[in-house]
Amino acid sequence: MFSFEIEARDTRSRARTGRLTTAHGVVRTPVFMPVGTHATVKSLTPEDLGTLGAGIILSNAYHLYLRPGHEVIARLGGLHRFMGWDRGILTDSGGFQIYSLSPLRKIDPQGVTFRSHLDGSTHYFTPKHAVEVQESLGADIIMCLDECTPYPADHEYTRRSAQLTLRWAEECRASRSGGTDQALFGIVQGGMYEDLRRESAQALSGLGFEGYAVGGLSVGESKDLMVSMVSTATQELPEDRPRYVMGVGTPLDILRCVELGIDMFDCVLPTRNARNGMLFTSRGRLVIKNAQYQDDPEPPDPGCECYTCRNFSRAYLRHLFLSKEILSYRLNTLHNIHYYLHFMNEMRDAIQSNMFPEFKNGFINRTSEYGGE
C-alpha cells in the first residue's frame, strides 16, 4: 500500500512536491506532521485535526510502550482505532526519547538498557523489539531504532555511534514480519561531521528502505550547521524515496530544508508554544500575554481563516492565557496547527508554480519586519 511519487520540482532549488500513499490515505508533500506523542495532539480532537487538514500525525513508540503498553493497544485494534484517527500515523522508535528522557541508559552492540522516566523501571530495547512494538501499534510508517548522538561529540565517538545505528538499521530491516502495509524508514546519523553524514546516508541507501530520515539534529547546534548536515545527507539519499528531517522545526527551518529536497517534518513547536502563549502569524511571532494586547480587538492574525481568528480577539486570548483557562491551550493550538498546515499548502503551491525562491524570500522579508518568523 505504501508508495511515493514526485509530482513537481522547483527548477531553482532542490524543492519538490509529491504524493505519499499509505494504507490510511494519500498525503501531499512537503508535509508537516503534528506531534501526538501519547496518541493525542494535546488539546485537539481527531475531528479537529481532520478539519484542519492534517493527513498524517506522529506518535511515539517509547511513550506508548511504557503507557498504556503496545500490547494493550494491539488488543484494542491498533493505534488508529485506539485514538479514533483514520488517517496516517508515523511512529518514532524511541531512540531520541531514550537519549533525552531516560535518567540512566546503557548502550551495547545489541541494544539499549534504560530506565523509564515514569517509574524508574528498567527496560531493554533491541532493534528487533523496536520493530515488534511499532508493528503491533499498526502505524503506517515506522522508524528504525537508532542512537541519537550527543552534541557535541568528537569524531571517533560519532563514527562508532553512526556505525551502531547502521548495524541496528540492518537488524530492523531483517526483523520485519511479512504481509504488512507498513513502511520502514532508516535514520541517517553522523553528528555534525560531513564525512560521517555522507557515509551514513550512502550506507543506508544501499539497504533499500521505503524512506529515509535525517536524525540527530536540533540538539544544540547552530542553524547553519543543521542546514549543512541536512544538505550533505540529502545529496546522498535516493531521489525516489521520501526524506524526513526529524524534530525540525521553525517555519524558516522548514523552508530551508524544503529548499534542499526534504519532504517530511515534525516538531512540537506549534503545540508547545501554543500552550506557552506564543502564536505563529503571517507577520511573525505574537506573544499573547503581552500587555499591549489587553484591549486589542483584532484577531491574532487578521489574514488567518482558522476558527480562533474568525471568532476571538487578542484581548480575549490574553485573558484566557493569564487566567490559565484550558480553552487558552485549545484555541492557541488550533491556530498554530492551522498556521503550519496552511504554510505547507502555500509552499507546495509555490513549488508547483516554480516560484519557491520568491515564496521563501517573501516569507523572510515579511516576518523579519515584525521581529521574526
Q: Is 253 tagged catalytic?
A: no
Q: DSSP states of 155-205 as a string? A: HHHHHHHHHHHHHHHHHHHHHPPSS---EEEEEE--TT-HHHHHHHHHHHH
Q: DSSP states of 220-245 as a string? A: S--HHHHHHHHHHHHHHS-TTS-EEE
Q: Is 296 tagged catalytic?
A: no
Q: Find, among 176, 184, 221, the residue nearest to 204 by Cα.
A: 184
Alpha-carbon distances, residue 99 vs 149, 246, 268 (angstroms): 8, 14, 17
* Kind plus residue range of the DSSP H or E element containing 318: helix 314-322
Give every CB contact of residue 331 below 8 A, 6+ residues apart in sequence.
307, 308, 312, 317, 320
Q: Are strands 31-33 and 264-266 parallel, antiparallel or unpaired?
A: parallel
Q: Find, among 141, 139, 2, the residue nearest to 80 by Cα.
A: 139
Read off the C-alpha cell for 147. 542512537
User: From the candidates 10, 146, 266, 301, which is the catalytic residue?
Assistant: 266
Distance CA 31, CA 91 (A): 15
Phi and psi torsions of 291, nearest 5°? -60, -25
User: From the candidates 10, 92, 146, 301, which is the catalytic residue?
Assistant: 92
Active site residues: 92, 266
